[in-house]
Structure 1
Amino acid sequence: MSHAISLQPALRRPALLVLALAVLCALGVAVWAQVGGERGIAAVASTSDIQVSGVEVDVSAASGSEARAKAWVEAQRKAWETLDGPELSDSQIEGLVSAIVIEREQLGPKRYIATLGVVFDRQRASRYLGSESEATRSAPMLLLPVTVSAGTQMVYEQRNPWQRAWAEYQAGQSRIDYVRPTGSGGDSLLLTYGQTGRRSRTWWRNALDQFGAADVLVPIAHLRYTYPGGPIEGSFTARFGPDNEYLDGFAMTAASPAELPAMLERAVVRFDRIFELALADGKLRPDPTLNIGTPELSPALQRLLELGRAMRARDQAAVAASQPTAESGDAITAAPIRTPPPEGSVALYTVQVATPDAAAFDSAVSAVRGAPGVRSTGVRSTAIGGTSVMTVSYSGSIGQLAEALRARGFKVSQGSNALAISR
């Protein structure tokens, strides 16, 4: 029986070790699952070129390739008319185009149906469209696109159509300086829906500093799937800042899941207009409370602080005026203790020292520290060529300290809990 009892702990140790390793492995897998996998969608490079999206064409010709070529020419002309450009030939317009973006297309044997985007080079097109005045751009704004669907809220936890719509948006022409995280790695842990409900400026400042942003924009897409394969109802809300301030909202509907990307692209353009209007109205200013390093005080609070400082200075001046002076007529700084201590006790005394030069200062400090009964000394102010002030912790009365300093070769003037010494 005794052998069985003694072996039980030994038998348990391997099992406990295996259990501990299993727990650590599970924790490691859980942490990796939160930051690993296919999450990030890199934002497209923003340019200042002029882009016209959503140009619909439907052209028939002798062949599919010919229909496509004619459709592209027609799309370029439609896009130029959208910009209210002057009358130009097709070849002139083609010379202003830098790219054609195929949003959707269907190519048949003799027909081409598509929705295209036309990008005009700004430098070449500006001489026909006129140079627009430089518009004021916003401060860098961190973008948190939130998707709410089926009772869940998602930002960058996994790839989603709302994140993709913002990543593919060409924001070069916008007055909003969007900071669009990729959503990979630790972004999914730091930038969550819960972050939009925080009010702590420290939390927000830490998050914004990670991406070099001054404030935050939160476009929320609430998607409701009516039934599988059926229409998708979208309710969109624009919010701003650490206090989740409401800016505007609107609604859209996609006829089917296949139409969802197109609806979200239109929603992104609508959000950009909302943010630009808020910027023009002065609403999109960075919250000053996010600047933790240089907090701003209201004028009323600043005035109260100034009054408090003035009252404290007045009280200190009244206390200093009530202090007695030395018997020789020279003013002596009051000691921290207002009443003389009992004989033989340790007390603090103020000692003023004439220090005409640095050597006199060093010599005086060393001599005071070496006086019998001195426990410790501290220099309150140093005035080379004037009078320095020391605080002396002494075991005894001020009279005894004066005698000890006279024994060290000092000329001593005694006041109330203060001494003035010189060589």
Structure 2
Amino acid sequence: MAITISPKSLRFSRKGAASRAMLWWGGAAVLAVATITGVQLLAQIEGDRGIAPLANSQDIQVNGISVDVTAKTGAQARIDGWKLAEKEAWKKLGGPDMPVESIDAMVTSVVIGQEQVGPKRYIATLGVIFDKAKAGQYVGAGAGSGPRSAPLLLIPVLDSGGVRQVFEVRGPWQRAWAEFQAAASPVDYVRPTGSGGESLILTAGQTSRRSRLWWRTVLGQFDASDVVMPVARLERQWPGGPIKGTFTARYGPDNKFLGGFTMDAASEQDLPRMLEQAVTRVDGLYRDALATGELRPDPSINAGGEALDRAFAELREKLMPKGEAPVVVPTPIPVIRTEDVSGAPVETVTVQFATPDAAAVDAALAAVRGVPGVQGAATVSLAIGGTSVMRVTVSGGGERLTGALRGQGWKVSGGGTSLRISR
């Protein structure tokens, strides 16, 4: 778009001409900045970055079985190749030794990826699908009497070339987990596609967060109880050369380490094969943790206000100087007013308050809880020496809470559902 400024529009005084010119160029600059900013914001969520995972069907599918078989005819070589693929797929699932005929009876279909049929030779890459009702008693979640996990959010982190990423681009580690047949595992993986706003929420930086309130919000969006974070670190010796992979299995808001291992790929073409095997081994680490009772949802994620208060109380005891008597600050006596709050609407108000020491936390909580109509008050963020935050459920909303606290001698700023109090 071209912008034309007529010379006639500038035939005024020097002051007026300068002001008008500044107005034109300022408007053009604002328009350009707004356009660039809008494009950048859209670029963060648009693009070809999501990989839809395989559906967790009632069947057990094994992909990537390579066969090379010779026989008297091409048709016979093809049949022998399929039977060999079924046997290799069964072995890959960790099934017990069985005749080929018994394995074939549990197969529902054979998926052809690539195949070449010659006069006496058959070369193909195949996938084998087993009926879970028949094969589940030998392999997968149905084998034995082991437990099944709660829904666990899967965040696959790829560390390659000094950059850590999850869903920002289509990565090979994300693809390997998307193609993993999770129905064969007792671990209930919740696998996001990584498209749209998911790439902004589920990042490599998210794995280092410790806030239970933040994790509760994220997990609630995916109906998950906890989180698992398999990490793959790829080190390329030279472009197109061997690749060393270091894989670790982590879980929980505290990014707890469960186990790890290393694998090697001969080249970039061999990388998908290595990552596919790595996914299976990482899943084995999570299976072992589930069997030993270590892979359990963190109870602090869904803990209520009372549990958080107990945790903050323990933190205050640890922060108090040992060997010295604590400074006793007189707790203000709340002014109880006889007023009817039964018909007032109930609102949730966020209150910020300065906490130079542990006693200030108790004083603020006592003052707020003493206000008529307060149904609950709990700290959601504690910062000794800074500003803490509490969430208050009160009949009548922030206006009633503001008036009552000012009557107790507190200074109250802000309004609505967000207040700040101080002495």
TM over 0.5: yes
Partner of 1:157: 168
Looking at structure 2, the residues matched to 190 and 36 of structure 1 have their Cα atoms a distance apart, in angstroms, of 14
1:206 to 203, 212, 217: 217
Which residue is equivalent to 1:147?
158
TM alignment of 1:341-380, pairs within 5 A: none
Distance in 2 between residues matched to 1:187 and 1:154, nearest whole Å: 13
Q: Which one-letter code corresponds to 1:76 in the other structure?
A: E
Q: Aligned residue for 1:71?
A: 81
Percentage identity across aligned positions?
A: 50
C-alpha change, 1:286 and 1:267, in structure 2 (3 Å) is: same
Match of 1:368 in 2: none
Partner of 2:95: 83
Unmatched runs of 5 consecutive residues or more in structure 1: 303-335, 338-347, 351-379, 381-423
The structure-2 alpha-carbon separation of the partners of 1:228 and 1:80, relative to structure 1 and needing over 3 Å to count, comes to: closer
The whole-number CA distance in structure 1 between the counterparts of 2:215 and 2:117 is 49
Match of 1:43 in 2: 53
Q: Give 1:17's match in structure 2, choosing from 16, 27, 30.
A: 27
- 1:112 equivalenced with 2:122 (yes/no): yes
Aligned counterparts of 2:136 and 2:150: Cα–Cα separation in 1: 26
1:228 Cα offset (Å): 1.5
Query: In structure 2, how many angstroms separate the alpha carbons of the residues matched to 1:122 and 1:30?
Result: 47
Aligned to 1:222: 233
Distance 1:224 1:109, change over 3 A: farther
Q: Shift of the alpha carbon at 1:113? A: 3.1
The equivalent residue for 1:275 is 286
Paired residue for 1:319? none
User: For the Cα contact (< 8 Å) 1:48–1:173, is it kept in 2?
Assistant: no
The Cα of 1:56 is off from its aligned counterpart by 4.5
CA contact (8 A) 1:97 1:121 kept: yes
Q: 1:236 aligns with which of 233, 247, 263?
A: 247
| 1:206 to 1:7, Cα distance in 2 relative to 1, 3 A | same
- Deviations 1:157-191 (CA, angstroms, capped at 9, x unpaired): 01111000001100012111101100000111101
Counterpart of 1:5 in structure 2 is: 15
| Alpha-carbon distance in 1 for matches of 2:168, 2:150 | 26
- Quick one: which of 38, 43, 59 aligns to 2:69? 59
Q: 1:76 offset after TM fit, Å?
A: 2.5
The letter of the residue matching 1:4 is: R
8 A contact 1:224–1:234 mirrored in 2 = yes
User: Residues 125-144 of structure 1 correspond to what in structure 2 (within 5 A)?
Assistant: 125=135, 132-144=143-155
- Is residue 291 of structure 2 the alignment partner of residue 291 of structure 1? no
Structure 1 residue 99, shift from structure 2 partner = 2.4
Which secondary structure state, in structure 2, belongs to the residue aligned with residue 249 of structure 1?
A: strand
The answer for the alignment partner of 2:400 in structure 1 is none
| Structure 1 residue identity aligned to 2:37 | L
Report the Cα offset of residue 227 of structure 1: 1.1
Change (3 A) 1:179 1:88: closer
Runs of 4+ in 1 over 6 A off after TM superposition: 126-129
Give the total of aligned pairs: 308
Alignment of 1:30 with 2:32, yes or no, is no
TM-superposition CA deviations, 1:35-56 (whole Å, max 9, x none) = 0000111111113434456654
Are 1:191 and 2:202 an aligned pair?
yes
On the 8 A contact 1:75/1:116 being kept in 2, the answer is yes
| Alpha-carbon distance between aligned partners in 2 of 1:212 and 1:73, rounded to the nearest angstrom | 40
Q: Which residue of 1 aligns with 2:274?
A: 263
Report the CA distance shift for 1:52/1:186 in structure 2 as closer, same or farther (over 3 A).
closer
Paired residue type of 2:235: R
Q: 1:8: how far off?
A: 1.1
Q: Which whole-Å deviations, capped at 9, do the CAs of 1:21-72 have from their partners, x for residues lacking one? A: 1111111100011000001111111134344566543212355554323211
Task: State the distance in 2 between where 1:160 and 1:39 align.
Answer: 9
Amino acid at match of 2:35: C
Q: Could you tell me whether the CA contact under 8 Å between 2:159 and 2:231 is conserved in 1?
A: yes
CA contact (8 A) 1:96 1:120 kept: yes
Contact 2:259 2:285 in 1 (8 A): yes
> What are the residue-to-residue correspondences of 1:380-419 with 2, within 5 Å?
none
Distance change (3 Å), C-alpha of 1:65 and 1:37: farther
What is the rounded CA distance, in whole Å, between the counterparts of 1:272 and 1:184 in structure 2?
Answer: 24
**Which residue identity lines up with residue 276 of structure 1 in the other structure?**
R
Tell me how large the CA RMSD over aligned residues is.
3.4
Relative to 1, partners in 2 of residues 1:263 and 1:126: Cα closer, same or farther, differing over 3 Å? closer
Is 1:123 paired with 2:142? no
What are the superposed Cα offsets for residues 214-235 of structure 1, whole Å, 9 maximum, x if unpaired?
A: 1111100000111121111101
Q: Deviations over 1:364-401 (max 9, x none)?
A: xxxxxxxxxxxxxxxx9xxxxxxxxxxxxxxxxxxxxx
Q: Between Structure 1 and Structure 2, whose CA radius of gyration is higher?
A: 1
Q: Which amino acid aligns with 1:26?
A: I
Whether the 8 Å contact between 2:138 and 2:144 is mirrored in structure 1 is no
Aligned CA distance change for structure 1 residues 2 and 49 (closer, same or farther; 3 Å): closer
Quickly say closer, same or farther: Cα 1:32–1:43, change in 2 above 3 A: same
Secondary structure, counterpart of 2:247 in structure 1: strand
What is the deviation of 1:100? Answer: 2.1
